[in-house]
Structure 1
Amino acid sequence: MVPRAPAGNTGRACFGNAEDLGRVPALSAGVIRVSEIFGPTIQGEGVLIGEPTVFVRSGGCDYRCAWCDTMHAVDPAYRVQWVPMSAEAVWARVVELSGSRPLTVSLSGGNPAIQPLGPLIELGKAAGYRFALETQGSLAKDWFSALDTLVLSPKPPSSGMRIDWDALAACRAAAGERPRTILKIVVFDEADYAFARATHERHPDVQLYLQPGNHTPPPPQVDDAAIDIDGVMDRMRWLVDKVVADRWFAARVLPQLHVLIWGNRRGV
């Protein structure tokens, strides 16, 4: 049976000024809007899966994906929970959590590209920390070139969003040769799979990771929501079989390891 994307919000395409897209009031220059900082834990997905990591999750996003699993960092209704912090304050919390022992800091969201993260990266790099950032590739920033890993995760048709190929290419150009750049695409159904193939055809030199979609993203107000693990694993098996049958050997299929271990619990 071919999996189908979940019903729900159909989303819409959104492009323009980052503050307008985030639909939250602008902050003073250099201030980062933080949804949560947690860890150390393991990176649960993609090229850094299993790596010890501290997560800095920013608040605000220029997309509204139908199946978003971090609405507490996306929906402006939760902006009262987002804390405006300086780069120095964020960095102090990272150092506290990591015990001053350098590891990987994952910058996520929402869309972290909305935030002024360059100074934070500069502070961390000076202390020997590594930085990874995941974004849908809608907003390019010059500080991408200071990252160690840039994860571009363009959203497939099931998200309800429209891909801007030029914006994705601009993100790659902004990163240059400095960080390791990879593609990671969530796949719910055949249309998403076709989208992943099309993305790879445009960027054949970038390593691509495929990830089965989570059936049951948690409500924003719930810290530990139930998960349909059978549904997730059915999609995982279908995706593996599909890639192997098509002999698409350039793609790598990985689960969300943190979902398999902790379900949809936040802060792990």
Structure 2
Amino acid sequence: MIVSEIFRSLQGEGKSQGRPCTFIRLAGCNLRCAWCDTSYAWEGGEKMSVIEVLDRVWLLNGRQICITGGEPLLQREEVLEILKKFRLHGYTVEIETNGTLDFRDLQPYASICMDVKCPSSGERSDLSLLPFITPRDCVKFVVADDSDLLYARAVMTQCQIRGEIFISPVEGSDYRAIADYIVRENLPVRLQVQLHKILGVK
């Protein structure tokens, strides 16, 4: 596996927000989102075996794991191998993905958080994956402005999404305006600011 970093912190977003979590951030990404806050993981990283990653996670303690990136599904075979080992040892695992690669073979072992790319990102997700999101998974729209909100609303209208839906404002955007839009349009979402940035942690 090509690993950017492994660390322990609080989960800053998604269904497990606020819970202690061990993060495995894999290096490499197939997108270049305009507002990406982990661009250092686009390249580089340290080559580690699955066993080495497991040993590092074991030393950090905790049973909640988040595999993120970059885009972790670019290393699908290794991710699937480590997921099976985590399951054997009773870990709970979430995978954060940009919604460009099929995640169905991973769902028996982990919950999925699909980040649907909005116009301000400069990128696009594969919306045909949304019907495969289950109630144990979630979907996130990172929004910066009105055009992103309109896009998110259109996607929610056109696509069946069975998992919980989060609207996450880009850092520095008008949080109040985004909140007002959600209330005014009665969107079936939860507003979620990035807790780790408020706390000043990873």
TM-score, L = length of structure 2: 0.92
Aligned to 1:114: 74
Distance in 1 between residues matched to 2:186 and 2:105, nearest whole Å: 37
Which runs of 5 or more structure 2 residues have no equivalent in the other structure? Answer: none
| 3-state SS of paired residue (2:116) | coil
The equivalent position to 2:193 in structure 1, one of 255, 258, 268, is: 255
| 3-state SS of paired residue (1:150) | strand
Distance in 2 between residues matched to 1:146 and 1:85, nearest whole Å: 24
Question: How far has the Cα of 1:123 moved from its partner?
Answer: 1.2
**Any idea what the Cα deviations from partners look like across 1:170-220, whole Å, max 9, x if unmatched?**
xx54x7x5x711101101001110111122121243321000102xxxxxx
Question: How far has the Cα of 1:113 moved from its partner?
Answer: 0.8
When the two chains are superposed, the root-mean-square deviation of aligned CA atoms in Å is 1.7
Aligned to 2:65: 105
Distance in 2 between residues matched to 1:199 and 1:146, nearest whole Å: 26
Question: How far has the Cα of 1:119 moved from its partner?
Answer: 1.2
Question: How far has the Cα of 1:144 moved from its partner?
Answer: 1.5
Which runs of 5 or more structure 1 residues have no equivalent in the other structure? Answer: 1-31, 215-230
| 3-state SS of paired residue (1:37) | strand
The equivalent position to 2:34 in structure 1, one of 29, 50, 66, is: 66
The answer to whether the 8 A contact 2:116-2:124 is kept is no
Aligned to 1:84: 47
Distance in 2 between residues matched to 1:141 and 1:207, nearest whole Å: 17
The answer to whether the 8 A contact 1:185-1:209 is kept is yes
Task: Say whether 1:33 aligns with 2:2.
Answer: yes
The equivalent position to 1:183 in structure 2, one of 130, 139, 146, is: 139
The answer to whether the 8 A contact 2:94-2:111 is kept is yes
**Any idea what the Cα deviations from partners look like across 1:219-257, whole Å, max 9, x if unmatched?**
xxxxxxxxxxxx35xx22111111111122x11101100
**Any idea what the Cα deviations from partners look like across 1:64-113, whole Å, max 9, x if unmatched?**
11111101101x3xx1xx11111111011000011xx4x21000000011
Distance in 1 between residues matched to 2:104 and 2:25, nearest whole Å: 20
Task: Say whether 1:46 aligns with 2:14.
Answer: yes
Deviating beyond 3 angstroms after TM superposition, the runs of 4 or more aligned structure 1 residues are none
| 3-state SS of paired residue (2:15) | helix
Percent identity of paired positions between Structure 1 and Structure 2: 33
Distance in 1 between residues matched to 2:24 and 2:114, nearest whole Å: 17
Distance in 1 between residues matched to 2:190 and 2:109, nearest whole Å: 22
Which amino acid in structure 1 is aligned with residue 32 of structure 2?
A: R
Distance in 2 between residues matched to 1:108 and 1:191, nearest whole Å: 27
| 3-state SS of paired residue (2:142) | strand
Distance in 2 between residues matched to 1:206 and 1:72, nearest whole Å: 30
Which amino acid in structure 1 is aligned with residue 156 of structure 2?
A: H
| 3-state SS of paired residue (2:33) | coil
Distance in 1 between residues matched to 2:22 and 2:176, nearest whole Å: 30
Matches within 5 A, 1:1-268: 32-39=1-8, 41-74=9-42, 76=43, 79=44, 82-98=45-61, 101=62, 103-115=63-75, 116-166=78-128, 168-169=129-130, 173=132, 180-201=136-157, 202-214=159-171, 231-232=172-173, 235-248=174-187, 250-262=188-200, 268=202
Which amino acid in structure 1 is aligned with residue 3 of structure 2?
A: V
Question: How many residue pairs were aligned?
Answer: 199
| 3-state SS of paired residue (1:90) | helix
Q: Which has the higher strand share?
A: 2
The answer to whether the 8 A contact 1:58-1:73 is kept is yes
Question: How far has the Cα of 1:142 moved from its partner?
Answer: 4.8
